């Protein structure tokens, strides 16, 4: 029996500033039917609080404890591993989350940790600072390395381009904390006490959303309103979703079938 429905944000319930048709009604249906709903985003440009504010502003009524982002996951990871470190953050959302946890944020090549996410004000100066820090031995953390993300009129470059700049010049690979790693799902399970068989991940990207679900050994649903399409599954048997639906509008009917043991 499903108890936790986890929805990706971009391409599943919103495209840019626009709610995908019936997404708000589906979220309310999940709540009214006794299940918990969580939004799980690889977006690191916004803090958790900022993402909730955006969602509420466009008409999706969410509480902060229902929303998890790569910026939150990155800050949690650094707080767990290196709580007394000096951190150079390439992303406003991550910087805000770090400060909430009492982590010292610096703009210096003497940083102990360099953490990189989506930054629309990225400059060569930031690249240079992070480069020097990493080359001096700083830990290199990436909120995610998504190539792109979904908006109203198509795709936009994602954090992967910025992470790639640091990888290219330092020749070092980062510790990735966002999808497809399982860290955000593990945070949800730890904080809310769910078992794997009680959860389902609903996403629009095979590589990140479905990949994370497979890595965590939980059920997965691919929606076709975002990045990945059916033809993208060719040759990817190892990360094939358990179900495919056209949009989140079809999710209630699918959940009923799953909870009644139907395929």
pLDDT in tens, 168-215: 999 999 999 999 999 999 999 999 999 999 999 999 999 999 999 999
Cis bond upstream, residue 112 (ω within 30): no
Radius of gyration of the chain, Cα coordinates, nearest whole angstrom? 18
Indicate the residue among 158, 176, 194 that finishes a domain. Answer: 176
Percent of the chain whose predicted confidence (pLDDT) is above 90: 86
Q: What is the mean pLDDT of residues 12-22?
A: 93
How do residues 22-73 score in pLDDT, each as one tens digit?
999 999 999 999 999 999 999 899 999 999 999 999 999 999 999 999 999 9
Q: Above 80 in pLDDT, residue 132?
A: yes
Tell me what pLDDT residue 262 has. Answer: 65
Q: Are 254 and 199 found together in one domain?
A: yes
Neighbours of 94 (CB within 10 A): 33
98 SS3 class: helix
Tokens of 61: 């009524």
Tell me what pLDDT residue 43 has. Answer: 87
Q: Are 170 and 255 found together in one domain?
A: no
Tell me what pLDDT residue 104 has. Answer: 97
Number of domains observed in the structure of the chain: 2
44 near 18, Cβ under 8 Å?
Answer: no
Full residue range of the structural domain in which residue 116 is found: 82-176
How long a stretch of residues is the chain?
263
Indicate the residue among 129, 150, 176 that finishes a domain. Answer: 176
What torsion, rounded to 10 degrees, do the Cα atoms 26, 27, 30, 35 define? 160
Indicate the residue among 137, 154, 176 that finishes a domain. Answer: 176
- Residue 263: band (very low, low, confident or very high) from pLDDT cuts 50, 70, 90: low
Q: What is the DSSP string of 152-171?
A: TTEEEE-HHHHHHHHHHHH-
Q: Are 172 and 87 found together in one domain?
A: yes
**Nearest C-alpha neighbor of 127 from the set 158, 100, 163, 99:** 163
137 near 111, Cβ under 8 Å?
Answer: no
248 near 223, Cβ under 8 Å?
Answer: yes
When the pLDDT of each residue in the chain is averaged and rounded to a whole number, the result is 94
Q: Are 170 and 184 found together in one domain?
A: no
Tokens of 171: 């020749």
Q: Above 70 in pLDDT, residue 19?
A: yes
Indicate whether 72 belongs to any domain.
Answer: no
- Residue 233: band (very low, low, confident or very high) from pLDDT cuts 50, 70, 90: confident
Q: What is the mean pLDDT of residues 120-134?
A: 97
Tell me what pLDDT residue 106 has. Answer: 98
- Residue 235: band (very low, low, confident or very high) from pLDDT cuts 50, 70, 90: confident
Q: What is the DSSP string of 24-37?
A: HHHHHHHHHTT-EE
Q: Are 95 and 151 found together in one domain?
A: yes
How do residues 80-108 score in pLDDT, each as one tens digit?
999 999 999 999 999 999 999 999 999 99
Q: Above 70 in pLDDT, residue 160?
A: yes
Indicate whether 74 belongs to any domain.
Answer: no
The CATH number for 113's domain is: 3.40.50.1000
Does the predicted TM-score (pTM) go above 0.85? yes
Q: Which residues lie below 8 Å from residue 242, measured CB to CB, with a gap of 6+?
A: 219, 220, 221
Rounded Cα gap, residues 162 and 47, in angstroms: 18
Tell me what pLDDT residue 69 has. Answer: 94
- Residue 149: band (very low, low, confident or very high) from pLDDT cuts 50, 70, 90: confident
Tell me what pLDDT residue 13 has. Answer: 96
Indicate whether 8 belongs to any domain.
Answer: yes
């Amino acid at each position: 029996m499903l108890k936790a429905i986890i929805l990706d944000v971009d391409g599943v319930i919103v495209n840019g500033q626009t709610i995908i048709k019936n997404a708000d009604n589906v979220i309310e249906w999940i709540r009214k039917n006794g299940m918990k709903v969580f939004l799980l985003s690889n977006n690191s440009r916004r803090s958790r609080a900022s993402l909730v504010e955006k969602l509420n502003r466009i008409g999706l009524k969410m509480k902060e404890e229902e929303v998890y982002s790569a910026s939150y996951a990155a800050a949690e990871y650094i707080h767990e591993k290196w709580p007394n470190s000096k951190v150079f953050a390439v992303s406003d959302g991550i910087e805000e989350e770090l400060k909430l946890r009492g982590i010292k944020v610096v703009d210096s090549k003497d940083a102990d940790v360099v953490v990189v996410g989506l930054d629309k004000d990225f400059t060569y100066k930031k690249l240079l600072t992070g480069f020097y820090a990493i080359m001096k031995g700083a830990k290199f953390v990436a909120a995610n390395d998504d190539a792109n993300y979904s908006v109203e009129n198509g795709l936009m470059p994602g954090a992967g381009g910025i992470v790639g700049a640091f990888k290219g010049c330092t020749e070092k690979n980062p510790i990735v904390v966002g999808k497809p790693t399982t860290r955000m799902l593990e945070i949800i399970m730890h904080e809310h006490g769910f078992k794997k068989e009680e959860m389902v991940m609903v996403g629009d990207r095979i590589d990140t959303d479905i990949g994370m679900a497979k890595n965590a050994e939980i059920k997965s649903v691919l929606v076709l309103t975002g990045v990945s399409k059916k033809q993208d599954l060719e040759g990817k048997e190892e990360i094939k979703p358990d179900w495919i639906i056209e949009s989140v509008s079809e999710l209630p009917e699918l959940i009923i079938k799953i909870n009644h043991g139907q395929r």
